[in-house]
Chain A
Amino acid sequence: MAFQAQIFQAVGHQSEDSLATITFLEKIGKVELMSFRVSYRADKGRAKVLSREFSNFNDAMAFEDSLHTGGVLPVQMHYYISDEEKDFKSVMSYIGIIQDNDLYIADESPNASDGSEQLFIAANQLGFKPFYRFRSRILTDIKFVILIGILTLFMITFLFLLFFIFYIKSRNARRERLTEQYIEICREPLSTFLFTYSLEEVKALSFDELAALFNTKDFKKSAFKNTLINEIINLNKNLKGDFKDKLRMIFTTLRLDDYSIKKLRSRNWEMQATGTVEVYEMNIDRAAPYLDKLLHSKNFVVRSNAVRAFLHLSPDKDLSFLSKQSYPLSRWQQMWLYRVIKNTPSKGKIDINSLLKADNESVRIFGIKLVRLLGRMDIIEELSEMFSHASNEEQYEILRTFKALAAHTRIELVHKSFQSDDLKLATLSAELMGVIGNEISVALIIEKLNVAHPFVLEKVMLKSLSYLDREMMNWAVRHFQRPQLESIKLHLNDGLLEHV
């Protein structure tokens, strides 16, 4: 009884469940992954026909009803889940899962009184379409976008640089070809001017006549002018005699000197430097005033060339501009300047005193060197006066100058500096004493040899002593009995080694 009650209860439950399932299907209509078909007997019951697939249960029901109405029997509903036919029990269980997890969208809400809920339902029933038509999953990843952006930037920069390199290379190649062409154009006329025309004939030529001989429409172009200037300067360096005068005449008649002076006024340092070299090489005297503001240029190349050119072109070789220079004067510049001064006929009139009074130590040192190199004995007194408050480097140069000029009158100053603790000063003084020294020098050297000194100093002292008084030198070595002195003496007495 109880068992039967249980069975009836179970069947009752099952009936309730089936009804609920059907009700649910009717209410919902479309269920995810479910489809329906209706089978019926056609052709007077001889063939079983399966209808087309219905995605909506209500449509399948309507079709079934229509068959019933048409007297077609038997009719049976077939249920499919994921395109596989399932029995009703499976359908009930599937629907149960759908219901429990709310995995369905109602066709219409039973309490749909306001329109917004209906709107949501309607919207939910629409298939998803992205708002942005061309949106892709990749572009939603920000890191990926950044990476692609950076790589793209690199590629663009690379391509730009590549293009730039090719452009510059081709431009340079074009310029080189052009320069070679211009050189070929220049050679013949220059040779003709130099070897066919006399100086007077060249002087008599006008700008148009000269320019016409080059036979080129590019005459007024900067590239041609620069090439022509370079060729003329090259010849000027290698030729002498009236050829230099002819070249200068050609240079000025063709107004290339104006072009070079124009470069001095350029803001580009390379143009300035080129201009200074050109006016220097071609001795364009009237360029001297334009060089004035380049003398204190921040650019070393411009400054060096301007100083050299100014000194070369200015008639009185006034070095006062150097005394105002705040930048140090490099050895290279000093060499350049000395070369210009050396070739000046009026060396005796060059004002070196202004250099000795300069605030710039390197300029003062250069001034001292000039005294030595130009043999300016008249400035020895001034050097002596500045010795006491000069820097170490200046003192060394002064002593070297005294030695070169054999300044005997300065021996007292030399004796004083010999007593100095500065090894180099003492050494230079000892060396100088060997040239201009006297009995007092001998005594001072002997006194100093009483104590051991570094090899360099002892060697110079003994050498000077040997020049002044060889006997005293031998006595000193015997008296002081130091191995170092002995070996130096042997070295000095060796005919071959004494000058080493």
Chain B
Amino acid sequence: MKDILVIEDDQLILKMVEFRLKKEGFNVCIAEDGNKGVEALEASQPDLIITDIMVPYKSGIEIIEYAKNKYPECPIIVLSALGDEEGTVMEAFNMGVADFVPKPFNPNELAIRVKRLIN
């Protein structure tokens, strides 16, 4: 079973994404802020990371940087409301993220992207 780490401060969205991905058969680990996300990354390597940019304590950009250093092969999907800001999107892609899903998003679409990246 593949492991997915989801880092998102909005509890409801976190639960929705967790619910949807679990339905697809993934093992989902959730983190509500940047620090917990980093702790989860230190504990084990996930097969995929989904992270928001605006999370408490550590920004998504810092998490991406940390994850890329620690697990360069692990794909990362950014899930953010900052999708309209071209600078943010470009910065994320320059850092090596695999995909950028702007909010509002379709959880089914997210699930398809996750499956594509993991497989």
Contacts and interface: CB of A to CB of B under 8 A. Distances in A.
On whether the two chains bind one another, the answer is yes
Interface of A: 183, 187, 190-191, 194-195, 231, 234-235, 237-241, 243-244
Contact of A239 (B11, B15, B107): B107
Given A187-B12, A231-B12, A238 B104 contact: yes
Contacts of B103: 237-238
B13 A240 contact: no
B19 A195 contact: yes
Nearest to B109: A241
Nearest to A241: B106
A238 B10 contact: yes
A244 B106 CA distance: 9
B106 A191 contact: no
A190 B12 CA distance: 10
Interface in B3-28: 10-13, 15-16, 19-20, 23
B-side interface mostly: helix
A238 to B, nearest CB: 5
A239 B108 CA distance: 10
Contacts of B11: 183
Nearest to A234: B12
A235 B16 contact: yes
Contacts of B20: 195
Contacts of B12: 183, 187, 190, 231, 234-235, 238
Interface centre among B15, B23, B103 (most CB of A within 10 A): B15
Nearest to B102: A240
B105 interface: yes
A237 B11 CA distance: 14
Given A191-B16, A194-B16, A195-B23, A240 B106 contact: yes
22 contacts: A187-B12, A187-B15, A190-B12, A191-B15, A191-B19, A194-B107, A195-B20, A195-B107, A234-B13, A235-B12, A235-B16, A238-B103, A238-B104, A239-B16, A239-B104, A239-B107, A240-B105, A240-B106, A241-B108, A241-B109, A243-B106, A243-B107
The 7 closest A-B pairs by CB, nearest first: A241-B106, A191-B19, A240-B104, A238-B104, A238-B103, A187-B15, A238-B13
A187 to B, nearest CB: 5
Contact of B10 (A194, A234, A244): A234
B76 to A, nearest CB: 20
B119 to A, nearest CB: 21
A293 B23 CA distance: 47
A334 B103 CA distance: 24
Contacts of B23: 195
A46 to B, nearest CB: 112
A190 B11 CA distance: 13
B106 A239 contact: yes
Contacts of A191: 15-16, 19
A176 to B, nearest CB: 14
A456 B77 CA distance: 48
Contacts of A234: 10, 12-13
Given A237-B104, A239-B104, 18 more contacts: A183-B12, A187-B12, A191-B15, A191-B16, A191-B19, A194-B16, A195-B23, A234-B10, A234-B13, A235-B13, A237-B103, A238-B13, A238-B103, A238-B104, A239-B16, A239-B106, A239-B107, A241-B109
A191 B11 CA distance: 12
Interface in B28-72: none
A187 B10 CA distance: 13
A438 to B, nearest CB: 37
A238 B105 contact: yes
Interface string B89-109: 000000000000001111111
A138 B20 CA distance: 79
A238 B11 CA distance: 12
A179 B104 CA distance: 25
B13 to A, nearest CB: 5
Contacts of B81: 238
Contacts of A231: 12
B25 to A, nearest CB: 14
Nearest to B18: A191
Interface centre among B11, B20, B104 (most CB of A within 10 A): B104
Contacts of B104: 237-240, 244
B18 to A, nearest CB: 9
Nearest to A240: B104
A231 B10 CA distance: 11
Interface centre among B12, B15, B20, B103 (most CB of A within 10 A): B12
Contacts of B13: 234-235, 238
Contacts of A239: 16, 104-107
A195 B17 CA distance: 10
A181 to B, nearest CB: 14
A473 to B, nearest CB: 35
A51 B106 CA distance: 119
A367 B12 CA distance: 40
A191 B15 CA distance: 8
A243 B16 CA distance: 11
Contacts of A238: 10, 12-13, 81, 103-105
A241 B81 CA distance: 16
A198 B105 CA distance: 18
Contacts of A194: 16, 107
Contacts of A244: 104
